[in-house]
Copies of this chain bind each other. A is one copy, B any other.
Amino acid sequence: MKQVTIKDIAREAGVSIASVSRALNGMDGISEKKRSRILRVCERLSYTPNGLARSLVKRRTQTIGIIMPDIMSPFYSELMVKASDAAHKRGYQVLLCNSFRELRAERDYLKLLAEHQVEGILIFPIGPRSTESMSEFIHNVPMVALNELTGQCGIPYVCADEEQAGRIAAEYLISRGCRNLLFVGFKPERLAHRYRAASFMETAKAKRIPAQIYECNLDFRTSFERGYNHFKHFLQSGLSMPDGIVAASDATANGIVKACRENGIRIPEDFSLIGFDNITEELPYIELTTVAVSHEEQMETAVELLLGMVEEGTPVGGKASVKLEPRLVERRSCKG
């Protein structure tokens, strides 16, 4: 697999390498007939430019990196697609990375991308500790997070206003007549869960509707499993059945649905169910009502913010985070 280089083309076409470069890049300062002759030679030798060399000299790669926790989750893979689209639209290429919810892998990818000279990184941090590795690279490459970041690390984020989301979910269930609310699938490490749960409780309290968070400290690899197992656990607890359940996320809600099916519980006949995130994956049974921001809007905003930083060479901490307004997406998992 010997590489054909610009030099080979030059020799073959009997011109200088400068002319070849000019021809390839559509620059002017070269006669049309020479250009077409050169291009023909390229064809013939099936020449492929070496992007590494080009990026090295131009000091631009026109590439950003995206790091997500779990490519197999429909939620994250949709975000990846939307983000890619947004980047492509602005003329940037994208490198996709899957951190697999492992801090180690996340850090490795951060490093890898920095070394590959990506001009910016869009990252969905897997947890609060992610900021440690992120701040390690913040001086080398602009970053935008897709999750609220704790602490003052100077990295801007673009995410949903989860407090609003929790309130919207609670208000909706109450408006549909629910009078005994439960939050299932809570995982305290997730900041988003904390916000959702807290404002859920607050809203219920303000309206004097009994509500509680089912806290079950068992953890599982996926949100689906967490939902499934937490709810099974709840069913065995002997606690009274709620008439409205807020799941910590849509994936969690799907787990709850599975547990219900195994126990002959029907949704929405036996209780109303609402989730967060608006996973758009098509499921054979459930049509889940949910609260979420527009994924497209979120990714567009994030990419725009990131490329803004890239293009104006914004130093660390030069940009402001943004919280997007979530909306209710009504489907058929709530009665009334």
Give the CA-CA distance A254 to B283 in the complex, in Å.
7
- Residues 124 to 141 of chain A near chain B (Cβ within 8 Å): 136-137, 139-141
Interface digits, A65-94 against B, CB 8 Å rule (1 contact, 0 not)? 000000110100110110010000000010
Partner of A255, one of B3, B50, B224, B284: B284
Report B-chain residues with C-beta under 8 Å of the C-beta of A21.
Answer: none
Q: Apart from A48-B114, A261-B284, what are 19 other A-B pairs with CB-CB below 8 Å?
A: A1-B141, A3-B59, A48-B111, A50-B117, A51-B112, A52-B56, A52-B61, A52-B117, A56-B56, A71-B96, A72-B78, A72-B81, A81-B100, A96-B97, A225-B282, A254-B282, A254-B284, A258-B282, A258-B285
Give how many copies assemble into the complex: 2
Whether the pair A285, B257 counts as a contact (CB closer than 8 A) is: yes
Report B-chain residues with C-beta under 8 Å of the C-beta of A140.
Answer: 1, 46, 48
Give the CA-CA distance A71 to B254 in the complex, in Å.
21
Partner of A285, one of B1, B95, B284: B284
Whether the pair B115, A48 counts as a contact (CB closer than 8 A) is: yes
* A180 at the B interface (CB under 8 A): no
Q: A56-B56, A81-B98 are in contact. Are A258 and B281 (CB under 8 A)?
A: no
Interface residues of A (CB under 8 A from B): 1, 3, 46, 48-53, 55-56, 59, 61, 71-72, 74, 77-78, 80-81, 84, 93, 95-98, 100, 111-112, 114-117, 136-137, 139-142, 222, 224-225, 254-255, 257-258, 261, 281-286, 313
With both chains docked as a complex, state the minimum distance between the C-beta of A177 and any C-beta of chain B, in angstroms: 24
Q: A98-B84, A284-B254 are in contact. Are A142 and B261 (CB under 8 A)?
A: no
Give the CA-CA distance A55 to B72 in the complex, in Å.
31
> Chain B: which residue is nearest A281 at the CB level?
B72
